[in-house]
Structure 1
Amino acid sequence: MTAPAVNDASVQASPASVVGSGRRGIPWALTGGLLLALLVLVPVAAGLGAYPIPTGEVLSSVLHRTGLGGTALDRVPESVLWNVRFPRIVLALLVGASLGCAGALMQGVFGNPLAEPGVIGVSSGAAVGAVAALALGLNFLGTWTVPAFAFVAGLGTVLLVYVMSRSGGRTEVVTLILTGIAVNAFAGALIGLFLFFADSAAVSQITFWQLGSLSQATWPKVLAVLPCAVLGLGLAPLYSRRLDLLSLGERPARHLGVDVERLRIVLVLVIALLTAAAVSVAGIIGFVGLVVPHLLRMVAGPGHRFLVPGSALLGALVLLAADLTARTVAAPAELPLGVLTALIGSPFFFWLLRRTRRRQGGWA
């Protein structure tokens, strides 16, 4: 018996390649809604904090700085806005967009809606690099030492996972996941050793970094993340159609001209670039890359043409809102951002598992 032919018509009819006819307008409406929400939340976040600044004054200062009118504020509020608040807001947008987009790519590459960037070891590898720099007291790059070590270690870990999972010139998804799990476990052991031998001051720094935070945001850190984020976010949408074809299965995707192995290599590197850059400056912030693509997929469908850039927008919005909550809900204290996203993301993930199980009639 011959296998049924796979052609462009079947791809166009597949649920993974296009948004359903009843949802055609939803992506555009969602995009507009997300952009509007960002435009509203940014000045609000800039005005809230230990030193409150009215939203009108925030907008006036922005217009003045951009040469579109407005008036400059007094020295103190102007300094708070442009040296403290705006670097943190921009960094939150970049980190959130990077994690959200990386999560959408990860789930598309692995064909698993429960995958997230940490699966391939990039987060734990970056953590090892940062913890090593802190525990050993390394400071030869000044304030850049910890982010630089985290970024290089994160990328190096992903490359190690990929090389170890290859066999016969190919990489199977299951092998890649299992290798990532093993490397994550080994990285956790290394972090434990560094914590055991570190002094109390280093342990405090390591704990703070692992909990995730944007409290150390500066314009130089924004400029450090910006090239990686722009490159990764610019490349990701170019592979949307191939991800839709890959969702049909590896064999049909190959028949339709997709070089599956090359696609997987490129996207794993893009995921590593986005995640390592985000983790290097913000610490470990979980659940954003897992939850954000799910929210969009439930509303707009599985098509990656919207899902990839939409996840970047929603990720930026979610992390900015989470950071605003983290620094205001317990003022003057500040909640660790990674703890807050985990507290919110974990119940949602549990609900998602229950919902999926009910719809599928069980997993047995």
Structure 2
Amino acid sequence: MRRFLLTLATILLLTCVAFYFHITNGSFDMSVWEVLQTLLRIEPNPKYDLVIFQFRLPRIVIAMLVGIGLGIAGTVLQGVTRNGLADPGILGINAGAGASIVLFMFFFQMTAKHATGGSWSSIMMMPLFGFVGGALAAVLILIFSRKNGRTDMQRLILTGIAINSGFGALSMYLSLKMNPQDFEMASVWMAGSIYNANWTFVLSMLPWIVLLSIVIYHKAHLLDYLQLEESSVKSLGIAIEKEKIILLLASVGLVSACVSVSGSIGFVGLMAPHIARSLVGLRHRFIMPTSAAVGMLLLVFSDYISKTVFEPSELPVGIVVSIIGIPYFLYLLIKSKA
């Protein structure tokens, strides 16, 4: 417990450092005192209010929530499948949720204007549409990865890659049918970006993240049991298939909420659980909050890099995370073969 608390405190401290750099730096630099004056309403300045409350703070909050959601979802998927390479992006759940949301944009005219807060009801509905697409992807993966009545781990990864490619192609086809303005927005969004963040997006995903995280953490001990042989788990009186479905649907809900506001950001759900396990051990009640904190740190830091390195242009945060994540994935792949 002491190791867990110390690790969590260290990660949160590093997140605060990333928060400091993110909120004070950009095309309009601010000092710490100016930020504190604005946040604490000491001599408020309309210019600083606009920069902090309308642009930077909602963006940082969304990065934190998305990192938490993807970190927890990755922990669940790796625990349920007993596969260290499982990740919402690699398995195609991101792509399924993304394709469903692009479909929503296409048929319901979710234009660039709406995305900046013009249609509150449309933004609130996006996570629900994402859940349908993500759940469909998860069901297809589970069906096609079954072999002799059991889930084959090798087929799971291969099926996930195929589903990912299929839904990605559908998203691209639909985006090509949009008008030029909406196509540009959809393309940036599919690459994984939160530069268009606003408080409506925060409100649309917050209930999903809070409620589903509580449900999953309440069942964290089951992920420890699921690492055993199925016959051993059943002998403990656990309804293994029912619990797997609940955990998978909850993780799909988390991923869908994240994808609805940030697009498809891969590798956070892969890296965060591995880093958490190396820091706090194998008990999922410790892994889960640590993975959430690591995911939060990764995404806040990556978003800071994405907005500053190529300033005044911005790189989608999904590309920055991929630059970090692809070498890590290859390292895990080589390690698993060894």
With normalisation by structure 2, the TM-score equals 0.87
After superposition, what is the alpha-carbon deviation per residue over 1:49-88, rounded to whole angstroms, capped at 9, x for unaligned?
Answer: 11111123223333x25xxxxx233221122111111111
CA gap 1:155/1:58 in 2 versus in 1, 3 angstroms: same
8 Å Cα contact 1:161-1:176 kept in structure 2 = no
Aligned residue for 1:132? 103
8 Å contact from structure 1 (residues 130, 149) kept in 2: no
Deviates more, 1:170-179 or 1:238-247: 170-179
Change (3 A) 1:267 1:129: same
In structure 2, what residue type is equivalent to 1:211?
A
Aligned to 1:106: 77
Residue 135 of structure 1: how far off its partner (Å): 4.3
Instruction: Check if 1:234 corresponds to 2:217.
Output: no
* 2:288 matched residue in structure 1: 308
**Equivalence for 1:211:** 191
- Shift of the 295–133 alpha-carbon distance from structure 1 to 2, 3 Å rule, reads same
**Aligned counterpart in structure 2 of residue 157 of structure 1, from 133, 145, 159:** 133
Residue 251 (structure 2) pairs with residue 274 (structure 1): no
Select which of 174, 183, 186 maps to 2:166: 186
**Match in the other structure for 1:36:** 13
**Counterpart AA for 2:266:** G
Partner of residue 57 from structure 1, selected from 7, 25, 34: 34
Once the two structures are overlaid, the 10-residue window that deviates more, 346-355 or 186-195, is: 186-195
Q: Does the residue aligned with 2:89 lie in a helix, a strand or coil?
A: helix
Identity rate of aligned residues, in percent?
A: 34
In structure 1, the residue matched to 2:319 is 339
Partner of 1:79: 50
Letter in 2 for 1:352: L
Is 179-188 or 122-131 further displaced after alignment?
179-188
Letter in 1 for 2:31: P
Residue 253 of structure 1, CA deviation? 1.3
Alignment deviations for residues 15-46 of structure 1 (CA, whole Å, 9 cap, x no partner): xxxxxxxxx64212101111222233323321
* Alignment partners' CA distance in 1, 2:265 and 2:122: 16
CA distance in 2, matches of 1:339, 1:176: 25
Tell me if structure 2 keeps the 8 A contact 1:288–1:315: yes
The worse-fitting range, judged by mean Cα deviation, of 132-141 and 306-315 is 132-141
1:187 to partner: Cα distance: 1.8
Structure 1, gaps ≥5 residues long: 1-23, 66-70
- Tell me the secondary structure at the aligned position of residue 117 of structure 1: coil
- Residue 171 and residue 321 in structure 1: after superposition, are their counterparts in 2 closer, same or farther (change >3 A)? farther
**Aligned counterpart in structure 1 of residue 151 of structure 2, from 169, 173, 176:** 173
Structure 2, unmatched stretches of 5+, are none
SS at match of 1:99: helix
Question: Shift of the alpha carbon at 1:162?
Answer: 5.4
Structure 2 CA distance, aligned partners of 1:159 and 1:136? Answer: 20
CA RMSD for the aligned pairs?
2.7
Distance in 2 separating the partners of 1:303 and 1:268:
19
CA spacing shift, 1:352–1:120, aligned 2, 3 Å: closer
Change (3 A) 1:124 1:146: farther
